[in-house]
Chains A and B, each alone.
Chain A
Amino acid sequence: MPPPVPTQITWFGDRCLRLEFGTENTPETRARVYRAWEALYDADFECRLRLTPAYTTILAEFDPLTLSDPKGFIASLFAESPDAPAIPSRKTVELPVCYEAPHAPDLESVAEHCGLSVEDVVRAHSGATYEVAFIGFMPGFPYLVGLPNELACPRLPNPRLRVPSGSVAIADDQTGIYPRSSAGGWRLVGRTPLRLFDAAQPSPSLLEIGDSVRFRRITPAEFDTLAAQRNS
């Protein structure tokens, strides 16, 4: 199958083109974004584009002084791209997550909002398989799709000034993980002791676009043991 071509290309400032692959955040649109991103990333071996894939779009940034016809260049990359496999290969990552105090400060508010017990929320959240739609916001932050519908919950009315690193959080129908402590408005339902991003490593991000993710429940004691191993 040839890579999907954008349904719309528009300028986003004077050094970016916004490639759109659909208007709704659906599995089909995300699959088109993923395959198109992979095709462009592989074909652009001179690294003239910096590509930011997201749910329905890819932002392509370039140096306008050296790339005079970016639309033509992108079209040529798509044209030269070999047929991609319909189902791209992905790795599956299992992340240990503690869903207990003090690591899950918003678990009760999520349960209340969703009309479920805390145990129901944890069972549903840790029982699902997620897909990394893209890495965005900050280095290594995965936007995970696949949250069970009954767990959808809006952001906090007032964002926290400090979210601990490794916090697993919910916002609307997405779940994500904060690789580093930062301000944030997502609801915190658990925390992983693993390090998601380390710039000193050859592969700095534990998760990448297209990966499958599962969460494994651990106790606070296991969390402390794994956190100590990480820091040693």
Chain B
Amino acid sequence: MLYVKRKTKVCGKNAASQYLGWLLLILFLASPVLSQDTDVFPVPDGYQIEGIPQIRKSEVENMFYDPASIRSNLIWDADRRNQRLLVTDETNSVYLLSSPLSKPDKLLEKIVPNTVKTRPDGGSFAYTSDHEDEDNYQLYFYDLKERTPKRLTTLTGKDESIESFVWSRDGDSLFYSKVDYDSKTSKVCRNDLTAETCYQIDLKGIWNVVDSNKDGILLKHWKASSSQLLYIYKIQSNKLTPVEEKANSRKGFLVDDRVFWTAEGSDLCAKKQCIFSSSLKSGGPKELNLPANLVNIDDVKFSPSGNYLLIQDSINGIDNLRIFRVKRDKVVEEIPRFISGSFVIWNIRWLSDTELAYTLENNGKPAAIQSFNIASKRITDWTKELLPAQLEGKVQSPEVIRWKSFDQHEITGYIVRPKVVVKKSPVLIFIHGGPQILDKPVFNSFDIRLASNLGLTTIHTNIRGSSGFGDEFMDADNKEKRGDAIKDVQSLLDWIGTQPDLDAGRIFIRGESYGGYVALSSALQEPRRIKAVVAEYPLVSIRGFLSQSWIDEFARNEYGDPKDENLMARLDQLSPLNNVGRWNNAPLLLTRGKQDSRNPEKDVTDLKTQLQKKGSEVWYIYSTKDGHGFGSKYVAAAMYIFLKQQIKKENQGETK
């Protein structure tokens, strides 16, 4: 009543109404100021930020889009018995796809599956996830009738992880390796879905379970990326036998009583890569006759009856699917190729003896699942991608680029240019982690957004150390050769300088994990040409990295022996840590997760502090809830604003 009376008086002629009028006027004038607070992009709970200006929502809202406007599905595994698929999407959930173009049925969410494998009868599946404890994977079982996950393993050691598993052929049990990163040993275990039994075999180093048959388990020992050795472990006799002593065997599998493996650097192989098979009983390696034009074998799978052989071959990150008819262990003919265009292909699965399912995507196309029937030559869509309208037609098709490094090694990458370039485009160089992985042109809406909103060209690099170009290239950055990888980036800067549509005066660099180290080191070596750096959860110092307890033989083969003081001192010179005097105040966006157990936190915070003391611009995001590999909308927004500001700054510099 009082309120109504007052409200009535607001428009009356007495003195109170005049005061109220003034109050209203003040509020009116202040309202734009107040409403500005609502335009603040919130810093997530658990984030501690330094040096980052307030981000306005209105400035970054075009970075994001409605999830319903995109569909990107990929195969996890096939249930051959029931002709259906387990698939994932951009959220990493697990769905059941019962038939082509049916609605995926969500089974699991908020997990971090590394591997998902269907039980042979199709009624359930197993998966590994490190959701509970980062980098320490557990094994789970999911029954499709009960629809609840069940954890099968218990990790009792200081730093254990289950990173590989296979189903037994009858589906009664799971075989897996339990890796202890603290003691640097692995155990081979069997779980019948109720209890675990570990075999009495002493495995030093990091081992994976690759395949199994009725009395043997195929194991892989990770000595180095170019030294992956396969062994057959016979359960009954508790005997371990090498498949081939010398060759680097990235792939291996068992068919009946034969073991098949890919081999590089084998004395038996006259080509770059071969596929051999050998009888588990009598031995005697036999080379599979393959065409000479296979460049980099990514995947090999026989059809269920063994009549067809699928080979996935990759050239500069673009995949080819090739199917061969096989008769008496010999390739007799190739099936005409059925995929046209340049795509990245993931997780191919045989659905029957004449049909296989696969996932296709590329830089401009979200992932979609198809199957191909060899008999009918028919392609069936299982899912259909959806691309938000605001992402359509914003970039030119990705193009593979090549440049010569200081030692004439050819280095490759791919470039994503804006559809329209006004004068010259600023450039963001992206360096992947690893380093033994391959950056492929997958659907990448961040590239598209940077191109369309900032006119920024992104160059994805596969500098030396990357996989996909042979063992020699993968080892070409090892130990004392680390600086050569940085020189690959320096050569890229030269290449950019020769491109008429790229602005060599506005080059920025971004790297994640090991790529963060290369980005930081490149900026240290190139203080004039690299204008700003984004280093996400980076490795900062190799000395610091190698000092961690989990570091194994694989890591030492890549980075060197921490006891080799000469090498460590040399590698120290590549890092901006303790070399800030040489840092030319390039602005740096740095991220770090508290749960990150891959790299020492002290190195990151020391670098940040040293640069801050020097007066460098540092944007720092520290997440107390995340670990290695973290990202978020806030990180994306901060990166966008950071790059936007750097581009603007350099523009102003140019006009001055």
Tell me, yes or no, whether A binds B: no
Q: What residues make up the interface of B, taking CB atoms closer than 8 Å to A? A: none
